[in-house]
Structure 1
Amino acid sequence: MSHLKDGPESDKHMLRRELLAVRNRLTTDDVREAAAGLAEHAMELPELARARTVAAYVSVGSEPGTLALLDALHARGVRVLLPALLPDNDLDWGAYAGEGSLARVQHGGRMALFEPVGERLGPDAVADADVVLLPGLAVDGRGMRLGRGGGSYDRVLARLENAGARAARVVLLYDTEVVGHVPEEAHDRPVHAVVTPSGVRRLT
């Protein structure tokens, strides 16, 4: 039987388990209500108001809902890029053209994801975004984000850094997921802001 070592990785594992347990108790109505608040507050972000290209994602399960936000951005004429998971857990990107432009894709034994149909733009397309909206499970006041552990968005953040991209990095969470401390590892990169159903918070 394998044991996780003590340290940030083990701490992340425990925190991840606790947060997912809370999310799993949310009802469909909870998720729907949160999605409306999330979209409303996100659209008030000055960075999104100015953005021509936004990299986002389609929420699944009990994640804070993003479809209302995607549609609001698309209706405003913003170019919205959505990820498609590659076999090595990296992300390719495609353009969003409304809910009809999504396909449900099953990746092995994991949860099915909704991905853009049509042309694939390559993993580096994210560097064109003015704002990158990130999924997560928690964030702290320093902007350290806890993801699900797959590493896909660690690669995205590293790619943005390597490209010298100035994209605003914003994580979308529930109110209770802004926490006192997220354990960090050497590869972790901070985000600039968090949007929750009750508002926007800038992070240092």
Structure 2
Amino acid sequence: MALARRYRHGIGASQNIKHVLRQQIVQARRAMSCAEREKQNDALTAHVLTATSGLSTIAAYLPVGSEPGSVEMLDALVTRGVQVLLPVARNDETGTPTALAWGQYRPGELVDAPFGLREPGPPVSGPATLAEAELVLIPALAVDGRGNRLGRGAGFYDRSLGFVAASVALIAPLYVGEILDKIPAGPHDVPVTHALTADGLVTLG
């Protein structure tokens, strides 16, 4: 795809590459038609329901703007009897992102939160709660074949994923075309194990 070709040609230091890729992917997502977005999200929901069959607790996220996924996906999981943990993002007193706290998703009970987000209301548990998850859905703008993930750059998830058991799948839901050739990765970046698009699950690494 065009994003991958531009990366291969090189556009500067890794942070500049990430910045440009973020801009390109966000613009492409915003340009996607509502019908196409709905079609791909419906397919993602079907794949997630298959992937979570037999599981009791997963961690997920509430999509913001044009991010892949939907509240309907979360509702479908709860209807299946799956406990869905959603992240609670906060900075410390110095303004530095901390590891994510977690709350249980209850349909119709989301509350307004910092950063313009929505999150589960109390009670909220600490970062170690993520160890209960049998599968983790992680927001991403793109991934590469090694599992390197392009996020928004705050680092909330990289600070949190150390609490996940080594055997648990870390899955990034994406739109078709968002698996790139290569994404720059730093020493603190935690790779994901799978990408999930409307075409199905892709093992990475």
Q: Deviations over 1:44-101 (max 9, x none)?
A: 22xx223211010100111112322211211111111001111243321100122x12
TM superposition score normalised by structure 2: 0.85
Partner residue, 1:193: 194
Superposed displacement of residue 105, structure 1: 2.5
Please tell me whether the aligned partners of residues 83 and 115 of structure 1 are also in contact (alpha carbons under 8 angstroms).
Answer: yes
Q: Is the 2:59–2:137 Cα contact (8 Å) retained in structure 1?
A: yes
Residue in 2 aligned with 1:44? 50
Alignment gaps of 5+ in structure 2: 1-11
Partner letter of residue 41 of structure 1? Answer: H
Does 1:26 pair with 2:46?
A: no
The answer to whether residue 63 in structure 2 is matched with residue 59 in structure 1 is yes
Q: 1:118 maps to what in 2?
A: 122
Alignment of 1:159-178 (within 5 A): 159-160=163-164, 164-178=165-179
Question: What TM-score, normalized by structure 1, do the two folds share?
Answer: 0.86
**What corresponds to 2:104 in structure 1?**
95
Q: Aligned pair count?
A: 190
* Aligned counterpart, 1:145: 149
Equivalent residue, structure 1, for 2:9 = none
For residues 159 and 9 of structure 1, what CA distance do their matches in structure 2 show? 26
Pairwise CA RMSD: 1.8
Aligned to 1:3: none
Distance in structure 2 (CA, Å) of the matches to 1:102 and 1:83: 12
Query: Share of identical aligned residues, percent?
Result: 40
User: Hey, which bits of structure 1, 4+ residues long, moved more than 6 A?
Assistant: none
